[in-house]
Every structure is written in C-alpha cells, then in structure tokens.
C-alpha cells in the first residue's frame, strides 16, 4: 500500500489495484489493547452531584464480538471527583463509561501520554461537557451536544465539516462513523474528505493500525462508489476499423464493457475467448462491448479482431499505442483493462475480467 494510492481519491484512478468485488461497510476503528500494566494515560475531572459513580475506560468492540474490554475503572468521591489511569498502546477509539442511575458514554480518541480533564453535571453527561487537555476538546464538546439530538443528518454534516477543516485531528476516528450515514451523504465531496483524512493519518504514521484502517475503509468506499454508478465514465471518440468515428456516449442506453486491449498483448488475447463467450450470452439483454485498441498497426489490429472472433461492431483505435488519448483519460497503467458502464453512462465496475467479469454480469442480468 503506497501513499500515492492513499492520495488518489478522484474518478478513474481510484481502484486500479483494488478488487471491485468487495462491498463497503461503514468505518469502525477498534482500539488496541496490550498486556502492560504501567499506566501512560490519565483522565480526571468532576461529575457535579455525581458521588460514588462507577467510571471506566473501555475498548468498544463490534457487537458480534460481545462486551467491551475494560482497561481501567474507578469510582468518583463524595464531591464527584475522579481520576482514572490506563495503559494505552497507541492512538485509538475508546469510551469513558460513567454509571449511576443510568449509563452515559463519552467517546475518546486516546493516545499514550494523554492527560484529559472532564467536567459535567450528572444529568447532562450525554449532551453537555467541558473538556480540556487535548487539541480536539472543542470537537468532543460539540459532538456531545449534537449527539443528544439523535439527528443523524446533523451529526453527518458536523462530521463532514470538522473532518474537512482538520484532516489530521485524532477525533476524526469518532467522526468517521457519521460522515456517510444515509444515501444522501454518499457523494464525491464526502469521499474526498475521507480520503484527505486517510492521507493525513497515513502521512503521520503509515504503520499504525489507525492509518491502515482509514486507508482500508477509504478503498472500500471507493469500490462501493465505483460499483454503484456514482461516477460518470469520461466520454471519448475514436475511429472504427472502417474509418468512421463513434463516441462512448453514442452507446447510451446499453450496458457497455469498455475493453482496452491490443493485438500484441498476450494476456488480452488469452482473455478474448471469455469476452466473446460473455458477449454471446448477454448481447440480447442490452449488453455490448466497445473494444479500444492500443495498436499502432492497422493490419495487425484487424487481423486480431478476425482471428479472435470479436464479433461486436464497436472496435476503435487512434493507432497511437500508449500515446492514445484514452490512456491518460482512464489512467490506464496496463492492459487488459476494462470499465463496465450502465445505460446512463455511469461506471459500475472496473478492471473486471475472467470470473470477476462473469460474476458482475450475472448480478446485473440474473433477472
């Protein structure tokens, strides 16, 4: 995984090296634990009218994994004051649980050597707190206020605005769970915001689990976007074997597999029988292929079309090889390379071939 890929968050360059068969799941950043007992992080403060309340620092686990892991616990004194220390192995997402007549949680993004103070009233922990000691204190205070409204749209807008203004903020571990909670939140701007955050964390510590999680979730988001028509396929026009000119947009209304290949490309020629078979299987179901050749020799190009039985009518090339205008347009780094486009001209798959192409077409045409 390279930093270049982390920064690459727009249109076609998104997933040249990522499988399009994965599905997106919302971000989740589980904190790490270790076996050391030496505390390196402290949280202190006061819960007004909060005498003898149980307070713990916990690692939130996915629901399927059972209860949270308790790292440390204490009780507030008769004035509601408390001090709790824990060993934190690295930056992560934790919860401060405060248990009295009810249980309240304060999300924290703790790192080794953090020293945080919290002031709250017993009855307002879930919506009004004062935090000090960390750069993201104001973000947490605002987050608690908005969480009380239980309005996912409000939290989503807050998350997007805050993550955009400060991509490297540790509190983005919490906010990342809210940036895309509804279909209306899924758009290129939100993806770009998340990509900036992933890049910022990766730049700071590329080996950390947090950075790896951000990058991994970012890639899955991109995959989801590309598989579900969020991006329009860049239009282009080129010459056919008989000298006419056609554009990709001329094929609107059909599912189109844009197949980038060349007569001199061994893997392309090896893949052609599979492409021919799938064309014959689905050509009566509003499916066609637009083969874009990176050849430079007209004779060899025509001969390969005939020899491999590429019977669909849409074969184009500007006969400029790797200098073809489509190479930078689609960020092509190698062939064979494919882009699957829906009838509205939007991308629903990339770099599909062999079993992955067959599976995707089966998903589309199974009804």
Q: For residue range 164-206, list pLDDT tens digits in order.
A: 999 999 999 999 989 987 777 788 888 889 999 999 999 999 9
**Residue bearing the bigger pLDDT, 225 or 233:** 233
Domain boundaries, the chain: 3-27+148-227, 41-134, 237-365
Q: What pLDDT does residue 21 have? A: 29
Report pLDDT for 15: 31
- For residue 25, pLDDT beyond 50: no
Q: Which CATH architecture has domain 237-365?
A: 3-Layer(aba) Sandwich (3.40)
Summary mean pLDDT of the chain = 87
Q: Quick check: 3 pLDDT over 70?
A: no
Lowest-pLDDT range of 64-68, 139-143, 144-148, 251-255: 64-68
pLDDT for 7: 30
Q: Name the H helices within the chain.
A: 3-7, 137-147, 152-165, 172-175, 188-204, 209-227, 266-282, 298-308, 326-329, 355-365
Cα 122 from Cα 48, distance rounded (Å): 6
Q: What is the pLDDT of residues 158-172, one digit of tens each?
A: 999 999 999 999 999
Q: Is residue 10 over pLDDT 80?
A: no
CA pseudo-torsion sign 146, 151, 152, 157: negative
Residues in the chain: 367
Cα four-point dihedral sign 358, 362, 363, 365: positive
Query: For position 226, what pLDDT does the model report?
Result: 81
Could you tell me which of 334, 332, 336, 293 has the C-alpha nearest to residue 315?
Answer: 293
Between 23 and 218, whose confidence is greater? 218
The CATH architecture that domain 41-134 belongs to is Sandwich (2.60)
Position 228 confidence tier, pLDDT thresholds 50, 70, 90 = confident
C-alpha–C-alpha distance, residues 193 and 160, integer Å: 7
pLDDT at 65 over 80: no
Binning pLDDT at 50, 70 and 90, where does residue 66 land?
A: low
Note the pLDDT of residue 19: 28
């Amino acid at each position: 995984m390279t930093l270049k890929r982390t920064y690459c968050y727009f249109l076609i360059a998104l997933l040249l090296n990522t499988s399009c068969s994965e599905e997106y799941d919302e971000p989740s950043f589980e904190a790490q634990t270790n076996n050391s007992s030496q505390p390196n992080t402290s949280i202190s403060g006061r819960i007004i009218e909060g005498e003898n309340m149980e307070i713990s620092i916990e690692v939130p686990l996915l629901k399927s994994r059972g209860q949270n892991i308790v790292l440390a616990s204490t009780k507030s004194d008769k004035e509601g004051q408390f001090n709790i220390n824990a060993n934190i192995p690295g930056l992560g997402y934790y919860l401060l649980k405060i248990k009295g007549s009810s249980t309240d949680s304060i999300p924290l993004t703790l790192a080794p050597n953090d020293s945080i103070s919290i002031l709250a009233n017993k009855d307002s922990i879930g919506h009004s707190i004062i935090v000090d000691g960390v750069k993201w204190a104001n973000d947490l205070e605002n987050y608690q206020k908005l969480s009380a409204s239980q309005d996912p749209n409000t939290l989503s807008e807050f998350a997007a605005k805050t993550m955009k203004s400060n991509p490297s903020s540790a509190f983005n571990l919490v906010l990342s769970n809210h940036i895309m909670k509804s279909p209306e939140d899924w758009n290129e701007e939100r993806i770009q915001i998340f990509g900036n955050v992933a890049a910022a964390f990766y730049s700071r510590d590329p080996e950390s689990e947090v950075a790896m999680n951000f990058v991994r979730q970012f890639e899955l988001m991109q995959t989801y976007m590309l598989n579900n028509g969020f991006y329009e396929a860049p239009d282009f026009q080129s010459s056919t074997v008989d000298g006419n000119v056609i554009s990709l947009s001329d094929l609107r209304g059909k599912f189109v597999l844009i197949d980038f290949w060349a007569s001199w490309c061994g893997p392309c020629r090896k893949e052609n029988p599979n492409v021919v078979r799938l064309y014959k299987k689905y050509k009566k179901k509003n499916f066609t292929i637009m083969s874009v050749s990176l050849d430079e020799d007209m004779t060899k190009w025509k001969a390969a079309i005939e020899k491999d039985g590429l019977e669909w009518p849409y074969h184009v090339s500007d006969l400029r090889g790797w200098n073809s205008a489509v190479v930078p347009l689609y960020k092509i780094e190698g062939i064979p390379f494919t882009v699957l486009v829906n009838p509205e001209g939007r991308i629903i798959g990339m770099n599909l071939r062999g079993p992955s192409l067959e599976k995707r077409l089966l998903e589309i045409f199974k009804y």
